[in-house]
Structure 1
Amino acid sequence: MATLRNTHGRDRDDMRRDAKSLLNRLKSIQADAAFVSEMADLFPQFPILANERCGTWYVHPSKIHRPGVYFKSTDGHTGIWDFNLRRYNPHLINAIIDNGGCIIVDSTRKGKRVPDALSKTIPIWCATINNAVRKKALENQKAYKSATSSDQAVNVDRSDEEMSATLLVPALDDEHWDVRYHSLPSVISRSEHAQIAEKIEGFADKLMRFTDMTPLTTRLLKPIRPIWLTPQSFIMKDDPPDYNQVGFFPVICLSASRVVQDGMEEQDGYLYVQGSGDDEEMWSKGLTPDLFWNNIDYLLEDGITASECENRAKKVVQDSRRLQLETSKPSGVASSQDEKSTSTLRANLFTPSMERCSEIAPSPIWIGNNASGKIPACWDAGYDMVINCGAEIKRESLFELEGGQDWVTALAGVGHAGAQASLCEIKRSQWPISVDTKNCSTHQVEKSYFYLHLPIAEGKKGQHDLLAMIPVAIEAVRKLFLKLEEWRAQNNIEDKTSPRILVHCQQGMDRSVGISLALLVACFDEESGAFVDRCGSSDKKYSANKEFIQRRLFQIMSHRLAARPSRATLKIVNTFFMSPTDPPPAKYT
């Protein structure tokens, strides 16, 4: 049987091999990004957000609104539709309110015009938010009427404005507030549409159990509605629709890639690959979207060959990594430039962001990546305890100084490759760095700072490590607060400010989230964020139910937008607090 050939005489097997070429992938992304830019120019009032990770490739870093959003296609897969609390994306609602709408960019590979994340997951999200806001608004209106009736019965003189402000009563027009599930008829069948629509009210009830929608009832003045744009869409470029005059906030779901046969199509000088930005770890050679866009002219120079493109990509990645190492602050050494940037560093560390770290308010927990936990800058930035959840850590020169061996204590928890957890306790006066100590009081100089290393491997290898390290982390935090109370009593210090605790891993996405979740459940009050000694001792395990653990996880996901805890990590945390068998207690050796 003859091999099928396209019009250019090339067989499909050759095209499939070329589809894996980095050059073809990057040129395809460049072509799709031009379409995205063209569509975005039609609606300059709307911020452009990328659906992580694929969508990030299609928007130039200078135009993208950060942080991005995280909607998974699996939440829209047929039969398993869901509103996932881990992907609530509360910052997106603020972006929509502040700008009157938004554009969300994503892409999909062959066989589809629109990815499930845009065609189903985001529409489910919109309908759920609309329903939850309406439900809460009606509850508040009912409470308002009941309160005003009660006041009239006892002749209490309170104005409508005062009552409305007290109860945050929205001016919601119930009859015209759209709570329908909107879908794309060319993609979603009537049957699937009906099945999803039946679930929306239940999704809204689930959301309301975990967060108070009252603030949104006074800020979200119009419902949210998805609008779809693709390269196949017909749009009047000279006369785009005016969404300022409609009764909803548009969420423009922009699918970047063209639909082509078999997901591949020959173009002038390259092979177009639909959805090239998907599954970046399979083709990117270490490139990131930022590296690609910052070096696009170098990587896609006219006439460049596929092999030369790969060589240049490797060089870009190597240069980037070398630059990161060179600009990293050496341990135990501070330059004059470091001294000048101390206040800037502190501001960067205490600004919630996906790139560095995020405050999990109202608790004293912060979750960050490796950059936020560098010694000793992390202590100088204002953290009282830093918990490193990485399996590998270079021995800091700070610990090798004279007397340094007395600062580090090995703990009983055994993690990756048999490594023990270790705790460093150090005084500010012992820091061998150039810091401004003139304004430090004696109490500040004598105060202890802590660095806890929990050797937890990444991925599946770290599951048992995580289970063993949870009680170590809880006990270390417990001792921190008890020691702080003792120190304040001895020095007659009335300041009751809670110490800041930074929990970090390589990216601040998984392992650090698991440890932080365990700390929130076991050590901190849900409402006030204050320390609560629930365990009472290192040998006693605090039990919690699944709903309470989910609420604390929702708290993390609402503040740490980069958080991506795996199912395995969450299962380990649930096992620790809900299993009848106690994990090994954390004890000092």
Structure 2
Amino acid sequence: MAQDLNPFSEIRKESLDVYNRLHSIEEDLDFVNVVHDSYPDLPLIPNLRCGAWYTDPARATNVPAYFKSTDGHFNNWSFNLRRSNLHLLSVIMENSGIILVDSTRSGKRIPDALSKTVPIWCAVINRALRIRYPDINRDEWDDNLYTPPTTVSSQEHSQISMRIYEWALALTNSSFDLPKLPWPLRPFWITPASTSFPKFSIDSDTRRHLPVICVSASKQVHDGTERRTGGFSYIQGSGDDHELWGMGLFPETFWNEREQLLSASRADLPDLIAALASNGSTPSPKYVKAPEGISKISNRISLSKLSELGLEPSLSLPHTAFILIDEAEVTKPTSPANPSTQADSTSPEQKSEPGASLMLEFKILGGKRSQAYFLHDVLPSSLRFIDDKLSHGLDIVIACPSAKDLGVGVALAAISQYFDDHGEYVKGGQDLRLTKQTIRARLEWIIASCPRANPSRTTLKRVNELLLTEEHLRR
């Protein structure tokens, strides 16, 4: 058999090697820590998902950020209200700035999330504040767009600038609260190629902005990989797309078992990761955290990952009812002639032990069938359950695997159906007139309190269909 001498095939094989990836991440960590040491008073925040590999939890602030690169892609620029990241403003105000960490793959120095999405975010918020607070001194309030000139062309910068006011107006007209910042936001960029770091005045009399320091963690590599004397090939942006190379490893496990993983040999590493991944199926108690309540409705409804609730959530959260939405394992039908034999596994289940009525569980299969099930079964059953529990003074926790999508859809339907414009519970939802704008505002309530919430278009479509379409017209 002829040996494959294709150099590109060899480069790809090296780039997906988990040993190379983990040791490349470790090299980049040193740079991120140097940056943080230069600004020790500024919170260190990973830009999810990639940035989580490069920020030590012992240093990082427990606040998520999600600036998506696609919102900065050429001709697709956007300030997405579903990813508003406005929760960061309180952190920035309290600490007079933040450090955002991300990375990008070979060929680029700065990811689009940091070079364009974050600058758009800063400029839009600055402009929106000037619209909402007319007493802001326009001569001293800088709401211009700033992008790194070596990464973003002057033509692209100009095209983005022309849309800032449009996005700012949409933000101003939304239901989001905009705190009045003492100074405008201003992005700055640091990469391993930086010869010096920016300096900021800490004197309130001379300060002119609140810095958002964007750190691109990885060294730029033009030819894919670089050999290291430590016996590995350096891969730029190794933390990106860990589903392709991680073999089931996630940032949380990496940080928990960092020494063990980095000391393992290349040959032993896959088996070690497999063992850690299987042991990690049951969450460690230190990862169990409280659900995120939605403040606009006095935290009557909260969102959580299933893994964050622990095994017995009712023991730590009394006076609470739970809706648990999980993904069912897909198995082959017992009868080839009847592909719907899995239907029983997706029916809602109320547990029969004491406190049975306090828990409603769903198992959802993948595929198009799950969309109909979500619309016709999950949402209606959940709404009846939620209304009943709220009327008896109980709070609700809705949990799904990610706390981003399906659970958010159930919460959105419930808040739209049973809470008025002031966030007050209305039993049965009587006299509440729903529109797309009403539902959109309720989604903004959720995002403001639960930043990781990011429901898919399909989930939002099902919620709108349930609330705004006559039952006989629903698909």
TM-score category of the 2 structures, normalised to the smaller one: 0.7 to 0.9
1:318 equivalent to 2:284? Answer: no
1:523 equivalent to 2:413? Answer: no
Give deviations 1:528-586, integer Å, cap 9, x for gaps: 332242368xxxxx87322211111111111112223122211211222233554679x
CA contact (8 A) 1:415 1:465 kept: no
Inter-partner Cα distance in structure 2 for 1:123 and 1:242: 18
What's 2:397 paired with? 502
What's 1:45 paired with? 41
1:262 equivalent to 2:157? Answer: no
What's 1:192 paired with? 156
What's 1:512 paired with? 407
Letter in 2 for 1:271: S
CA contact (8 A) 1:113 1:230 kept: yes
TM-score with structure 2 length normalisation? 0.87
What's 2:323 paired with? 387
Letter in 2 for 1:524: F
Instruction: Report deviation, 1:374.
Output: 5.8
Decide which moves more: 103-112 or 501-510: 501-510
1:369 equivalent to 2:333? Answer: no
Name which one, 1 or 2, has greater alpha-carbon Rg.
1
Letter in 2 for 1:360: I
Inter-partner Cα distance in structure 1 for 2:291 and 2:133: 34
CA contact (8 A) 1:416 1:457 kept: no
Inter-partner Cα distance in structure 2 for 1:380 and 1:108: 40
1:378 equivalent to 2:276? Answer: no
Letter in 1 for 2:222: Q
Instruction: Report deviation, 1:249.
Output: 0.5
Inter-partner Cα distance in structure 2 for 1:226 and 1:456: 42
Instruction: Report deviation, 1:372.
Output: 5.5
CA contact (8 A) 1:367 1:513 kept: yes
1:305 equivalent to 2:252? Answer: no
Give deviations 1:197-245, integer Å, cap 9, x for gaps: 111111111112223546x12xx10000000111112216xxx623425
Inter-partner Cα distance in structure 1 for 2:345 and 2:149: 56
What's 1:280 paired with? 242
Letter in 1 for 2:182: L
Inter-partner Cα distance in structure 2 for 1:4 and 1:389: 47
What's 1:545 paired with? 435
Inter-partner Cα distance in structure 1 for 2:369 and 2:42: 43
SS at match of 1:556: helix
Instruction: Report deviation, 1:311.
Output: 1.8
Give deviations 1:83-134, integer Å, cap 9, x for gaps: 1111111221111111111110001112211111001111010011111111
SS at match of 2:348: strand
TM-score with structure 1 length normalisation? 0.71
235 and 531 in structure 1: CA distance in 2 versus 1, 3 angstrom threshold: same
CA contact (8 A) 1:523 1:533 kept: yes
Letter in 2 for 1:176: E
Decide which moves more: 502-511 or 549-558: 502-511
What's 1:411 paired with? none
Of the three residues 456, 467, 472, the one matched with 2:375 is 467
CA contact (8 A) 1:384 1:449 kept: no
Of the three residues 166, 178, 196, the one matched with 2:142 is 178
What's 1:573 paired with? 463
Letter in 2 for 1:307: A
1:63 equivalent to 2:59? Answer: yes
Inter-partner Cα distance in structure 1 for 2:342 and 2:413: 17
Inter-partner Cα distance in structure 2 for 1:295 and 1:528: 43
SS at match of 1:193: helix
449 and 186 in structure 1: CA distance in 2 versus 1, 3 angstrom threshold: same
1:295 equivalent to 2:257? Answer: yes
What's 1:242 paired with? 200
Unaligned ranges ≥5, structure 2: 330-340
CA contact (8 A) 2:46 2:55 kept: yes
Inter-partner Cα distance in structure 2 for 1:181 and 1:26: 36
CA contact (8 A) 1:576 1:582 kept: no
CA contact (8 A) 1:70 1:89 kept: yes
SS at match of 1:321: coil
Letter in 1 for 2:385: A
Inter-partner Cα distance in structure 1 for 2:351 and 2:73: 47
481 and 68 in structure 1: CA distance in 2 versus 1, 3 angstrom threshold: closer
Q: Identity, % of aligned pairs? A: 32
Equivalences for 1:290-439 in 2 at 5 Å? 290-301=252-263, 304-321=264-281, 324=283, 355-363=289-297, 364-371=300-307, 377-378=313-314, 381-392=317-328, 419-424=346-351, 430=354
Inter-partner Cα distance in structure 1 for 2:352 and 2:320: 10
What's 1:554 paired with? 444
SS at match of 1:257: coil
Instruction: Report deviation, 1:262.
Output: 2.9
What's 1:352 paired with? none
How many residues are matched?
455
CA contact (8 A) 1:243 1:250 kept: no
CA contact (8 A) 2:11 2:224 kept: no
SS at match of 1:49: strand
What's 2:359 paired with? 451
Inter-partner Cα distance in structure 2 for 1:416 and 1:573: 22
1:230 equivalent to 2:191? Answer: yes
CA contact (8 A) 2:295 2:449 kept: yes
